[in-house]
Amino acid sequence: MKILVCISHVPDTTSKINFTENDTKFDTNGVQFVINPYDEFCLTRAMWFKEKQGATVTIVNVGGAETEPTLRKALAIGADNAIRVNVNPTDGLQVAKELAAVVKNGGYDLVLAGKESADYNGQMVPGMLASLTDFNFINGCVGIEVDGRSVSATREIDGGNETLSSNLPLVIGGQKGVVEEKDLRIPNMRGIMMARKKPLQVIEGVGATAATSVQSFEKPAPKGAVKLVDADNVDELISLLHNEAKVI
């Protein structure tokens, strides 16, 4: 089985988000970048397939040279090789089109991608990629098993789960549950040494254009101070929620 894992390079979850150039550019100053948490679950699941069922695992990112440390980290976790599509994308459709070209050229059976990225949270790349490649698609996946060419996957639905079946080739939009958080892999010394020698291929994009662009960023308006209510006076809280906030 040939697996492709899409890796997005995103600010660490604790990052303070700031903007420059008149609130038009994300300020990367002092920001630590990591593998997108949703992609990390997918990558670990891919390693599991590789070790237990036999698979080659390629990782791919559409981005500039600054994303290479993130790709090296994913290689250190155990991916076999990496592809960086040398394009600075500005929207999900552009990323999906660039990825679709990689998928079509590579003959992959299973494509794993986090259901969203922790920066722009568009929730569109896996679905668009599936559509563009005509692969089957299961989103919001919390469990996946592959037996030959047939797949059983579970996705989250409102208030529960749904189990689905499909054949390969397939695109998965994954989240926690594809593996549990305690099972996530951390690169060890040997992995880091080996990763240095693994191939990281840089290819030029196919020239996909974006359909959307960010005009400006905005922070939420500063909030007023919290209204404190005495612990002995919950009646006041109820009255505030009823009369002032009008939520009960």
Partner 1 sequence: MSVLVFAESSEGKFKKTAFEVVSYGKKVAEQLGTNVVALTINANDSSELYTYGAEKVVTVSNDALNTFNAKQYAAIVTEVAKAQSATVVVVDSSIDGLYLAPLVAVDLEAGCVSNVVAAPSSTSPFTVKRKTFSNKTFSNTVISTDHKVIGVAKNSYGVHENPVAGSTEAFEPAIAASGVTSEKVERVTGKVTIADADIVVSAGRGLKGPENWGMIEELADVLGAASACSKPVSDLGWRPHSEHVGQTGKPVAANLYIAIGISGAIQHLAGINASKVKVVINTDPEAPFFKAADYGIVGDAFEVVPKLIEKLKAFKAS
Ligand X SMILES: Cc1cc2nc3c(=O)[nH]c(=O)nc-3n(C[C@H](O)[C@H](O)[C@H](O)COP(=O)(O)OP(=O)(O)OC[C@H]3O[C@@H](n4cnc5c(N)ncnc54)[C@H](O)[C@@H]3O)c2cc1C
Task: Looking at residues 36 to 75 of the shown chain, list those that interact with ligand X (rule: CB under 6 A).
Answer: 37
Q: Which is nearer to partner 1, 49 or 135 (CB)?
A: 135
Residue 27 binding target from partner 1, ligand X, none, CB below 5 to 8 Å by type: none
CA distance to 21, 43, 72, 102, 219, per residue, from 61 (Å): 26, 13, 11, 10, 28
- Tell me how many residues contact partner 1 (CB under 8 A): 75
Residue 113 binding target from partner 1, ligand X, none, CB below 5 to 8 Å by type: none
**What CA–CA distance (Å, rounded) separates 111 from 63?**
18
Q: Which is nearer to ligand X, 38 or 49 (CB)?
A: 38
Contacts of 129 by beta carbon, 8 Å cutoff, 6+ apart: 6, 96, 99, 100, 103, 111, 113, 135, 171
**What CA–CA distance (Å, rounded) separates 17 from 10?**
12
Q: Residues 119, 214, 72, 51: what is their CA dihedral angle, to the nearest 10 degrees?
A: 60
Among 32, 106, 199, 241, binds partner 1 (CB under 8 A): 241
Tell me how far, at minimum, the Cβ of 54 lies from partner 1, in Å: 24
Q: Which is nearer to ligand X, 39 or 98 (CB)?
A: 39
Q: Which is nearer to ligand X, 51 or 181 (CB)?
A: 181
**Site for partner 1 contains 183 (CB under 8 A):** no
Among 28, 167, 188, 201, binds partner 1 (CB under 8 A): 167
- What are φ and ψ of residue 239, in 5° steps? -65, -40
Tell me how far, at minimum, the Cβ of 64 lies from partner 1, in Å: 19
Residue 92 binding target from ligand X, partner 1, none, CB below 5 to 8 Å by type: partner 1
Among 7, 37, 55, 195, binds partner 1 (CB under 8 A): 37
CB-based contact 110:146 (threshold 8 Å):
yes
Judge if the upstream peptide bond of residue 220 is cis by omega within 30 degrees of 0: no
**Site for partner 1 contains 174 (CB under 8 A):** no
Judged by CB under 8 A, the chain residues 95 through 124 that form the site for partner 1 are 96, 118-124
Judged by CB under 8 A, the chain residues 187 through 226 that form the site for partner 1 are 210-220, 223-224, 226
**What CA–CA distance (Å, rounded) separates 208 from 93?**
8
Contacts of 112 by beta carbon, 8 Å cutoff, 6+ apart: 3, 4, 5, 6, 42, 43, 45, 46, 172, 174, 178
Contact residues toward ligand X (CB under 6 A) are 13, 37
